[in-house]
């Protein structure tokens, strides 16, 4: 619950006020709802921002994201994890990039691994070349936790902790696939790879960064280690079979050899 308070406070300080905020809570802790309700009555009420809160107990991330997609009223949908902090110009940077690139369908940015003092925990990768992409057999390369290019760069994927889409683009690919069960591993990649395969433009804006905390609460880390590893493996296989069908059997063999090595 303390994590959601941090991200809500960061949204209240944005230079570009959000049009609406939708919180989906998959925990069993009543404190999250209480924190959101209090923020809605005070801070966001003063800002004129509507905050909606929904319980998603027993659901998973793609179910929650589709819920948001079905009820949002804007034409751009931005996603943050509860264990993130968005600097003041995060939303403004996203909105301005959409304005300057009318042909773009999705924009993401760095989700820098940080401690509670916003101290980045990894050496930054400050290069222009795209660092987030899909390989031939469905392997995924993602350096969003440290990649900060000098300018807006074309890319193929983002972290679920910091990504945005035109609502029309999400709807055109059928939203999020709810077949990604458990911890939902690869569920956000499933959307971006479909957009890429459909020839859509995705951009990565270094100014639209967030800080992503490492903590035992928040995010999609519920369950014991064995359970998480099971769903991770299952979802990787499903992702490759669905989106890289021509290379599926080779991809699974590569996965087996990699995990066995």
43-55 tens-digit pLDDT:
999 999 999 999 9
241-260 tens-digit pLDDT: 999 988 766 666 766 665 54
Domains along the chain? 75-260 (3.90.550.10)
* 54 membership: H or E segment, kind and range: strand 50-55
Interval 159-168 mean pLDDT: 98
Q: Say which range, 20-29, 108-117, 215-224, has the weakest mean pLDDT.
A: 215-224
* Residues ≥6 apart with Cβ < 8 Å to 194: 173, 243
Q: Which of 84-88, 151-155, 172-176, 217-221 has the lowest mean pLDDT?
A: 217-221
pLDDT digits (tens, 9 = 90+) for 166-197: 999 999 999 999 999 998 999 999 999 999 99
In DSSP terms, 201 is beta-bridged to: 104
- DSSP state, 241? H
Q: Give the helix/strand (H/E) hosting 108.
A: strand 104-108
Question: Angle, to 10 degrees, between the axis of helix 2-12 and the axis of helix 30-41?
Answer: 20
Q: State the pLDDT at residue 261.
A: 45
Those residues with Cβ within 8 angstroms of residue 244's Cβ, 6 or more apart along the chain or in another chain = 136, 137, 138, 251
143-152 pLDDT, tens digit per residue, is 999 999 999 9
């Amino acid at each position: 619950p303390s994590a959601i308070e941090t991200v809500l406070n960061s949204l209240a300080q944005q230079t570009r006020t959000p049009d609406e905020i939708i919180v989906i809570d998959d925990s069993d802790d009543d404190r999250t709802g209480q924190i959101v309700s209090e923020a809605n009555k005070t801070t966001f009420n003063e800002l004129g921002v509507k905050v909606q809160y929904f319980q998603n107990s027993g659901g998973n991330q793609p179910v929650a994201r589709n819920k948001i997609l079905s009820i949002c009223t804007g034409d751009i949908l931005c996603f943050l994890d509860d264990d993130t902090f968005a600097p003041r110009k995060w939303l403004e940077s996203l909105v301005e990039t959409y304005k300057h690139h009318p042909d773009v369908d999705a924009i993401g940015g760095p989700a820098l691994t940080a401690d509670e003092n916003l101290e980045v925990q990894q050496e930054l990768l400050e290069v222009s070349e795209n660092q987030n992409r899909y390989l031939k057999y469905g392997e995924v390369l993602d350096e969003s936790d440290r990649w900060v290019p000098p300018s807006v760069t074309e890319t193929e994927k983002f972290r679920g902790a910091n990504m945005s889409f035109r609502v029309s683009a999400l709807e055109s690919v059928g939203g999020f696939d709810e077949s990604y069960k458990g911890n939902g591993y690869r569920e956000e990649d499933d959307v971006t790879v479909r957009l890429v395969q459909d020839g859509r433009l995705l951009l990565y804006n270094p100014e639209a960064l967030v800080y992503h905390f490492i903590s035992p609460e928040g995010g999609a880390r519920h369950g014991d280690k064995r359970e998480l590893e099971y769903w991770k493996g299952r979802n990787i296989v499903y992702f490759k079979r669905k989106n890289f069908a021509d290379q599926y059997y080779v991809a699974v063999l590569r996965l087996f050899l990699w995990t066995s090595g």
